[in-house]
Amino acid sequence: MSEKILVPALGESITEATIAKWLKNEGDAVEADEPIVELETDKVNLEVPSPVTGILTEIASKDGSVVEVGSLLGSVSENGENSSPKEEIKKIEPTVNIEPLVNKIKEENLTPPNKEPNIFEEEDEIDEEEPLVLTNEIKEENNQLKNNNSQDLSPAVRKIVVENNIDIAKIKGSGKEGRVLKGDLLNLMGANPKPSERKIKYGQEERIKMTRLRQTIAKRLKQAQENAALLTTFNEVDMTNINQMRKDNQEDFQNRYSIKLGFMSFFVKACVVALKTFPAINAEIEGDEIIYKNYYNISFAVGTEKGLVVPVLRDADELSFAEIEKNIKDISEKAREGRLTIEDLQGGTFTISNGGVYGSMLSTPILNLPQSGVLGMHNIVERPIVVDGEIKIRPIMYLALSYDHRIIDGKDSVSFLKLVKENLEDPRRLFLDI
């Protein structure tokens, strides 16, 4: 009995997927619920398990094929029998006795020839080209060139010839009318740079089809530029107090919660407080209506080998610092291991993007539609600033808030970022909910 393998339901608004790779080959034994094929959707990758224990008898769609929900991927035979058994290959016995012919060939091959070939019957004349050499007579030769055709040599060529005592008369130039070029001399001296390893491996150019995830990222980013009135406002935050708080409490925090106290929990808390104060930044436009979200699902960007994904930290306003750190760590690991589900990526109301982990000093983050705001974090750099009339060195981070100007006015965006800055510079405010 053969069981069909069908494309499962892929989640909201997803109707098709691409076959990333088959994990099993035709004829392989499979166990029930064992992953046998990996599908790539617009948002996540998922594995399709075998419905029964048996033999994978058919692969209907090859790697790279686009398949719709419910379409046939292949078949598994429950009893282990192939749905299309191969014809038995019969052994064909020879009808002619070829043994005498084989013996004759062997005798002929073993019999030495009557005459041994005389390889060196006559000495051939070999014209040896005189090797290219460096000579001490170059100074005299150069003087001769200087008198006759120095106009044919560029200053760079003449300099190399003089410095390296090169016999220019022995060089066949690659320029017009045999003119010696700088590259000819560099080739002679072995000074030409080698091509890159990537060029050697893949050639002058390489063409690779975009993954569905990368296609979706490109499409959504373009939609954000076309459909929203994008604007970015900037500020800077002194991270001194947060650094000191983390230093003073890191050991106790780890001992109690088994996780490090990072920066993201402070930023999530600061953003939630500011979003409650400026609800338009936690809203979205749908048609001619504004939808205000009274819940705070914070999306955060995670870089993976396959591209950027933006999973969601749900109900961030109800989470403690430790719960925020644990959830972010768990979700980030799922993203890097390719275990995110559709639900992990849906329902965000505001996004935080941390380019600082890659060394970014400043950027203008782009909206994660249909959201109306995204906060860009950057690296922390010690810079001189004025504090109480004195120049001091402080750890400074630049902040960038990109927003949809259709729904968020400049006053609200600037005030929002200023409030985030204040709560980060004095993190005690976060515990007082002010």
- Give the CATH number for residue 426: 3.30.559.10
269 and 157, same structural domain?
no
Whether 169 and 250 share a structural domain: no
Confirm whether 124 is a catalytic residue: no
Q: What is the reported pLDDT for 99?
A: 63
Q: Could you give the number of structural domains in the chain?
A: 3
Q: So what's the pLDDT on residue 220? A: 82
Do 258 and 375 lie in a common domain?
Answer: yes
Exactly one of 238, 409, 412, 426 is catalytic; which is it? 409
For the segment 209-250, what is each residue's pLDDT rounded down to a tens digit?
887 777 877 888 888 888 888 999 999 999 999 999 999 999
For this structure, is 405 an active site residue? yes
Q: What is the pLDDT of residue 132?
A: 53
pLDDT at 86: 45
Active-site residue, from 344, 404, 405, 412: 405
pLDDT for position 114: 54
Q: Is residue 83 part of a domain?
A: no
Q: Residue 148: its pLDDT value, please?
A: 37
Furthest-apart CA pair in the chain: how many Å? 111
| CATH (domain of 157) | 4.10.320
* pTM attached to this predicted model: 0.61
Whether residues 269 and 142 share a domain: the answer is no
pLDDT, position 112: 55
Residue 185 shares a structural domain with residue 70: no
Q: How many other C-beta atoms can be found within 10 angstroms of the C-beta atom of residue 324?
A: 21
Please check whether residues 311 and 223 belong to one and the same domain: yes
CA-to-CA distance for 274 and 268, rounded, in angstroms?
Answer: 10
| Residues in the chain where the model's pLDDT stays below 50 | 83-89, 119-127, 136-150
- Count other C-beta atoms under 10 Å from residue 70's C-beta: 10
152 within domain boundaries: yes
Same domain, 259 and 224: yes
**What range does the domain containing 228 cover?**
213-432
